[in-house]
Structure 1
Amino acid sequence: MGTASVQCLINSISRFIHLVSCQTTKPLPLPKGCRNLSVVLKLLKHLLDDVISLKLSSDELLYRECEALDIAVNEAREFVENWCPKMSKICSALKCDPLLIKIQNSSQDICESVWKLSESVSCSSSLNAIQNCLEGLQSLKQERISECIEEALISQRTGVGPNSEHLLKIVESLHLMSNQELLKETIAVEKERINAERNNATEDLDHINQIMDLIIRIRDWMVRKDYFHGINGVSVPSYFRCPLSLELMLDPVIVASGQTYDRSSIQKWIDSGLTICPNTHQTLTHTNLIPNYTVRAMILSWCDENKLNISNLSSLVQLSQQDLNRSDSFRYSLHGSNSTARSSPDVENRSDKQNGDVFASLIGEKSNESRRNGTEKFDHSSPQQSYVYSRSVSASSAFSSIDYVPSAPNELMKISNKHEYIKELSGEITSELPAASHNEISGFTSSLGGGQLQAFRTETGMVENENCNGTMDNSIPVLESESDNSTATLRVKKLIADLKSQRDEVQMKAAEELRLLAKDDVENRIIIGQCGAIGPLLSLLYSDRKVIQEHSVTALLNLSINENNKAMIAEAGAIEPLIHVLRTGSPAAKENSAATLFSLSVLEEYKAKIGRSGAVKALVDLLGVGTLRGKKDSATALFNLSIFHENKARIVQAGAVKYLVELLDTATGMVDKAAALLANLSTISEGRLAIGREGGIPLLVEILDSGSLRGKENAASILLQLCLHSSKFCTLVLQEGAVPPLVALSQSGTPRAREKAQQLLSHFRNQRDVCTGKGKS
């Protein structure tokens, strides 16, 4: 060890000091703290130089302290090197402050050790250097903003919420006092969240989600306190402010999720490489910005009433945007390169939760404009259909479920009189699609009024990222690169033989490679199916090794994309093994098992067979206690099964309504999915009774008031069923205040929603007339 550790520390400090001194053109996070630290480390360096030059007696404790500080200084140096101006200020503070504290504490320990050594040799110069260093360290011991942020996050987690003092200190210390700075911070944190998802960093993701919640609280608090000054002394109503920038919406536009934003703010969001709705976190199925003429007319009317000149306001907003544009003149991408990282051909880089598998949605309509409107063609054995991109997380005031982008950009999707349902799972498109089309995919639309539902899910690396302990090779084998099909067939047959091995490791590797081969290649799926892999893969669903189970069920899910394979899987008796995985598998295996059951349920005859098996109960259990992805997969499969009338009662009897009512809470992110399935179940008496018994009416009325267009549509449909069949439920609906949102919906909802709302209002009038007639008689 010896003095080498001291010399290494001196070198590390020199590199750090040099790095900070070179940052004159690049503002640092908390620059005062970093620069002051650099000054203190200079003093410490002089002290350490004395230790080397004076050859103070050896002290093992001192050497260990030097090694500890060396590590901390290098961590700080890496942080400064990797930082760039577009990173989140909150996240940077939470990362930077602990490093500074660690360096201060280690530096103080070193000073104390050197003090003892210097006293023994009466070295006055060293004692003076120690005194200067300790004084510098003492001056740095101030309350750090990270402590305030952590206290705010703790208050948030306990349900109390951060107090105004904490929020004020955060916005002032981090200079988040303007709406443009808040917009930049929101974009930066969203990018941090996407990075955490891609890296499958669950703890980091949870922490970042809490930070995003804190930003939302800060925004709400600033609006509530009228922190942003009004225009010419006139306070801007919150409902006229852009939810993203908090500025008056001079050019309100509707995005694919149904939310309204100011054009400049949402364009800035999209230009930053973000393709999810800021409010609902739905994946935007397209980036068309549709003018919201209704809101614009209301804002213009408000401006007229308050004698505000709209052209003058526009120039003010443009000026306030200039600072933001200048700061965005150089970008950092999600991976630190550029904003096109999303288009990378690396199919393992995903931008949705848990690096999981993808449901690629196929719908029957054929769109000549699909490439221009964000949909991509998919060459498959079935008729030409189009991909749909949408994450469909529902929330208030969202079009959750705008799942098909029509030919005309401004034309909204026609809504089938039959039930439609959205599957939410996302990830990057596999290599069958052009690299430039890499967007988050979401699930499926079932347009049951038309042709046969076509939907399935492709797998993009969830197993290796989530549950295979890093044993996966990220490279994806492709059979087309083989010299000919016979070679490819031999290779697949070898893997199938390995599936039957007595050794778990051999089975695991074979299942893993077959899963990857089937992941993103049409020909591979055909070859694997024809070579007889389905039977051995089904056998491995009973394996005691969770990872083997996961690889096998995911391989089957990928193979089921092919219609012939789907039929072979069903005929091979897949239902019972899949139910076994639903009951015993890991969370990822359960998710993929539910997804495979959904894929099989596309076959009409298997809706009944799956319903009569024990699958419904297992799916309902997953709906209640599964992961978020598992719940969504379960809800998707149950929805498709509920199309077969006999299955509705089975789903109700299995206890699904209780969980579905709980999922009507906007915080779950599954409002639209739960409402769509409940709409099917409300067509039978058992379903209606269960919805009323589980307290669904208040939540449904709330959705009428603040839900997405599709959510409102399904809520109106359910309430209509309840009211038509029960005067008791009708009274409860009226008591919950359903009339005002129904009146609004009857004028501004989707065609089907308007129809249901009008029927409900007419029913209320009829009931009132009946009661009035009875009173008169």
Structure 2
Amino acid sequence: MDASVKCLVNSISRFIHLVLCQTIKPVPIQKHYRIVADLLKLLKPVLDEVVDYKMHSDEIIYKECEELDMAINEAREFIENWSPKMSKIITALKSESLLMKIRSSSLKICYILCRLLQSSSSNSNLTGIQEIQCLKHEKITEKIEEAIRSQRNNVFPCTKDLMKITELLGLTSQELLKESIAVEKERMNAEVSEIKGELDQINQIVDLVSHIRDCMVKTGRFEATTGIAIPPYFCCPLSSELMLDPVIVASGQTYERSSIQKWLDHGLTICPKTHQMLMHTNLIPNYTVKAMVASWCEENNVKLPFNSDHTTVVSVPSLPDHVSSQVLVRTDSFKCSVYSSNSTSRSSLEVGNGFDKQKRGVSPILCGEKSNGCYSREKCHISPEHSYNHSRSESTSSAPFSIDSVPPALIEVSGKPSKPEIVNELSGEITSECYATPPNKESGISPWLSVKQLHISKTKAEVVGNEHLNNLYKESSSLNSVSEELATASHAKRLVEDLRSNSKEVQTTAAEELRRLAKHNVENRIVIGQSGAITPLLSLLYSETNLTQEHAVTALLNLSINEDNKVMIAEAGAIEPLIHVLKTGNDGAKENSAAALFSLSVLEEYKARIGRSGAVKALVNLLGSGTLRGKKDAATALFNLSIFHENKARIVQAGAVKYLVELMDPDTGMIDKAVALLANLSTIGEGRLAIVRGGGIPLLVEIVESGSQRGKENAASILLQLCLHSPKFCTLILQEGAVPPLVGLSQSGTPRAKEKAQQLLSHFRNQRGGATGKGKS
């Protein structure tokens, strides 16, 4: 008896200390466990007296002490393992269940101790027991349980109850998006564990979150600045926010791009609304809804932000002069399809990076400068087999990138196709040479739209929207001839002379003009390159005027789309000036400098030169402290450099692994890029050690479980490298619970991912077999 009570007292002390030290746990966890701590504070002196006076007790109190001890330890573990990424609803239900269990056990012990202490003189302890018996708490899960009961009876939960749940748990629109992702991941985990009762409860919670989302949309959202009610059909079904960048998924449903992209980035491949399995993860812009939203915003004087990081349709007059005068399109997907009409596949590179060696033919054509988040490109072809995703690369290198082909989208307005453009994510510009094939040339509407949606698309609102888009098209077309101005040799030479002027203003203007001319036209790049512009542009990279420096580096970037120019830029000694820009330039200049280095690294002999020049450290610094666009450019450049074996150690020694591990967080949107680069670095000992020391194993296991197909493939490859070279690392991987997701990957991943998963599982079995054999001998 004494031993069980002493253990219980010790557990109570540890629990109280843990709760008092918690300062970041949000409601409802904090509220629940402070109640538990208050209850246990009252119980502890009573138990202390039982131990001090060695009071006689029976078997019942012995069992109750053991049960309470187990419940307290379970609650303590729950607090320690809690993460902000966990579902708030599931957390509330679990924590309240533990609270009730602890309270029930405490009361049972109190009833027994009341009897034992009645003969004792300790009236204070009797008072403490009475306080425990009188301690009440408000059940914040009451509304949740009531809503779930309604669902089980096939009744839609009460709107008032649903709104109360969102209020109690603080489910704002963004929090609701996180909640949707969290409960869906819990559902996937429950399916794997095959615990029927648990899966049934999770399914009920998934339905509840869906009802809450519908309720938030139907009850009305209000625009922040004007207070005007937003029409429900303009709100994203996933985040309940106004859809400024609506996209269609494979199920035919429309969502806000940023919301559905977060959903997909967490490895979720079902439609949040219909729960259909998505046959692909391509996001097709819904221009009809976008036009309707724009029209509604205009009518209600709601400011529509055009500088979003996502797909944007804009009219030319509102754009800065360095942005393409066409209707610009941008996608945050890493996946793109790129074509070439005037370039041939230049190299077939066999990559010896610890992956399966694959021959890859890639046209080393550079894609142009930054503008509204998109990159100018000549048309080039990239094999969908590549194992690295990078949507911006200004130069489409011979590196083994994994750029999966998607059905590209063409903007069409009232039957008129827009200027052909290529859709891509990286910073840069869209040139007139680039194009993408439409999913449906007849209507400009996604082929996945349902019959009902096609019927709705003929409404008056759509006609108004199409007229609005048509106006945008006409405006952009009217300025198109200006934006594609051809440069004559004499004009180019005058601009080159201006680059050498003593006037900083003249230099800046000339660099900006060359940047603009090189942005759009193949012939202009050739003329400018032959006019001798490269050397003076390189000298302006040392300019103390940030704007001049940015125009110069971006002009060089656009010029390097041409193969002859690329070679001339490299031979003119561009590496050092570009490194200088990486260290001293503004954000835009740094981004385009990193992209230019990537472009030069396409030339095989320059991978080694760039690596030895000190560029690696500057790129790693950009990877750690740059803008999101800069980080993506740095990751692309470093990946291409890492193909040259000698550079791998330089990248690791520069501290890249720490940043890459941080970028494996889904919120960064850079998981696939980070994992692909880490896969190359994991082929050397220093790289493997840095990955483990940086805390990469848990994140890699999580990516194997819930990442994209390409992410899972590269994560499995890294884990295999770690296991093959260190039994200690292998043990750490097993301790992170890698076996279940690897089993799943071995059955449903890409062919290469399946192979890596099977090799890992086989390695685990062999290790166990070897250990068993040693034990028997």
Q: What is the TM-score when the length of structure 2 is the normalising length?
A: 0.51
Which runs of structure 2 are paired with 1:634-673 in the superposition (5 Å)? 634-673=634-673
1:478-531 per-residue CA deviation (whole Å, 9 max, x = no partner) reads 79866xx8xx10000011111111111111110001001100211100110000
Secondary structure at the counterpart of residue 517 of structure 1: helix
CA deviation after TM superposition for structure 1 residue 214, in Å: 12
Amino acid at match of 1:242: C
Residue 385 of structure 2 aligns with an amino acid whose one-letter code is I
- Count of equivalent residues: 461
1:569 counterpart residue number: 569
Letter of the structure 1 residue corresponding to residue 342 of structure 2: D
**Equivalent residue number for residue 548 of structure 1:** 548
Q: CA offset at residue 751 of structure 1? A: 1.3
Superposition deviation, residue 440 in structure 1: 2.4
The code of the aligned residue for 1:247 comes to T
2:422 and 2:430 in contact (8 A); partners too: no
Q: CA deviation at 1:376?
A: 4.5
Q: 1:335 to 1:652 in 2, by over 3 A?
A: closer
Contact 1:428–1:441 (8 Å) recurs in 2:
no
Q: 1:601 maps to what in 2?
A: 601
Q: Which residue number in structure 2 is paired with residue 733 of structure 1?
A: 733
C-alpha distance after superposition, 1:299-319 (max 9, x if no partner): xxxxxxxxxxxxxxxxxxxxx
Distance change (3 Å), C-alpha of 1:633 and 1:388? closer
Q: 1:745 to 1:582 in 2, by over 3 A?
A: same
Q: Is 2:366–2:562's contact at 8 Å kept on the other side of the alignment?
A: no
Question: Superposition pairs for residues 338-349 of structure 1, below 5 Å?
Answer: 347=325, 349=327
Deviation of the 1:758 alpha carbon: 0.8
On the 8 A contact 1:553/1:589 being kept in 2, the answer is yes
User: Which residue identity is paired with 1:587?
Assistant: D
- Aligned pair in 2 of structure 1 residues 739, 335: CA closer, same or farther (>3 Å)? closer
Shift of the 376–438 alpha-carbon distance from structure 1 to 2, 3 Å rule, reads: same
CA distance in 2, matches of 1:215, 1:546: 34
Cα separation, 2, equivalents of 1:700 and 1:382: 34
Tell me by how many angstroms 1:475 deviates.
6.5
Q: Is the 8 A contact 2:579 2:615 kept in 1?
A: yes
- Letter of the aligned partner of 1:437 in structure 2? P
Partner AA of 2:742 in structure 1: L
- Matched with 2:688 is 688
- 1:60-96 Cα offsets, whole Å, 9 max, x none, are xxxxxxxxxxxxxxxxxxxxxxxxxxxxxxxxxxxxx
Matched residue, 1:579: 579
**For 1:441-590, what aligned pairs fall within 5 Å after superposition?**
441-442=424-425, 488-590=488-590
Residue identity opposite 1:556 in structure 2? L
Partners in 2 of 1:607 and 1:240 — Cα distance? Answer: 37
Q: Mapping of 1:120-135 within 5 angstroms?
A: none
Following the alignment from structure 1 to structure 2, what is the Cα–Cα distance between the partners of residues 617 and 429? 40
Q: Select the residue among 237, 242, 245 that pairs with 2:271.
A: 242
Match of 1:254, SS? coil
Residue in structure 2 matched with residue 204 of structure 1 by the alignment: none
1:373-392 equivalences under 5 Å are 376-380=339-343
CA contact (8 A) 1:664 1:674 kept: yes
Shift of 1:350: 2.9
1:255 aligned to which of 280, 292, 301: 280
Q: Does 1:350 pair with 2:328?
A: yes
Equivalent residue of 1:352, what SS? Answer: coil
**Offset, 1:253:** 3.9
SS in 2 for 1:192: coil
Structure 1's 156 and 745: CA in aligned 2 closer, same or farther, altered over 3 A? closer
CA distance in 1, matches of 2:647, 2:631: 18
Q: Is the 8 A contact 2:366 2:393 kept in 1?
A: no
**Conserved in 2, the CA contact under 8 Å of 1:378 and 1:387?**
no
- The partner residue of 1:423 within 391, 407, 412 is 391
Specify the SS of the correspondent of 2:519: coil
Match of 1:174 among 220, 234, 253: 220
CA contact (8 A) 2:393 2:595 kept: no
Q: CA RMSD in A?
A: 5.3
Change over 3 Å in CA distance of 1:713–1:732 after alignment to 2: same
Please give the per-residue CA displacement for 1:695-747, whole angstroms capped at 9, x wherever unaligned. 00000000000000000000000000000001111001111111111111111
Q: Deviations over 1:216-242 (max 9, x none)?
A: 99xx9xxxxxxxxxxxxxxxxx99972
Give the C-alpha shift of residue 641 in structure 1: 0.3
C-alpha contact 2:616 2:654 (8 A) present in aligned 1:
yes
Deviation string, structure 1 residues 171-208 (Cα, Å, up to 9, x no partner): 453189xx99587566995752589xxxxxxxxxxxx9
Using a 3 Å threshold, how does the CA distance of structure 1 residues 422 and 627 change in structure 2: closer, same or farther? same
Paired residues of 1:476 and 1:517 also in contact (CA < 8 A) = no
Question: Retained in 2: the 8 A contact 1:479–1:524?
Answer: no
After the TM superposition, which residues 616-627 of structure 1 pair with which residues of structure 2 at under 5 Å, given as runs? 616-627=616-627
CA distance in 2, matches of 1:475, 1:734: 61
Name the aligned partner's letter for residue 192 of structure 1.
L
Partner of 1:440: 423
Give the structure 2 partner of residue 397 of structure 1.
none
Shift of 1:477: 8.1
Counterpart AA for 1:654 = A
Change (3 A) 1:564 1:618: same
> Sequence identity of aligned pairs in percent?
54
Q: Secondary structure at the match of 2:502?
A: coil
The Cα of 1:776 is off from its aligned counterpart by: 1.4
Normalising to structure 1: TM-score of the pair? 0.51
Deviation at 1:664, TM superposition (A): 0.7
- Determine the C-alpha separation between the residues in 2 that align with 1:187 and 1:271: 20
Give the match for residue 56 of structure 1.
Answer: none
Gap regions ≥5 residues in structure 1: 1-147, 196-207, 221-237, 258-265, 276-323, 362-373, 390-402, 407-412, 444-455, 462-473
Task: Output the CA distance in 2 between the equivalents of 1:274 and 1:706.
Answer: 31
Q: Which whole-Å CA distance do the structure 1 matches of 2:528 and 2:496 have between them?
A: 9
Runs of at least 5 residues in structure 2 that lack an aligned partner in the other structure: 1-166, 181-207, 223-230, 248-254, 297-301, 317-322, 347-361, 368-378, 395-407, 412-416, 433-477
* Cα distance, 1:422 vs structure 2: 2.5
Distance of aligned partners of 1:545 and 1:193 in 2 relative to their CA distance in 1, 3 Å threshold: farther
Give the distance between the partners of 2:609 and 2:685, measured in 1 at CA.
23
Instruction: Show the counterpart of 2:40.
Output: none
Residues 652 and 687, structure 1, Cα contact 8 Å, conserved in 2: yes
Give me the whole-angstrom Cα distance separating, in 1, the residues matched to 2:335 and 2:261: 33
* Aligned residue identity for 2:244: E
Residue 438 (structure 1) shift: 3.0
* AA aligned opposite 1:173: T
SS at match of 1:502: coil
> Who is 2:197 aligned against?
none
Q: Structure 1 pair 509/186, CA: closer, same or farther in 2 (3 Å)? A: farther
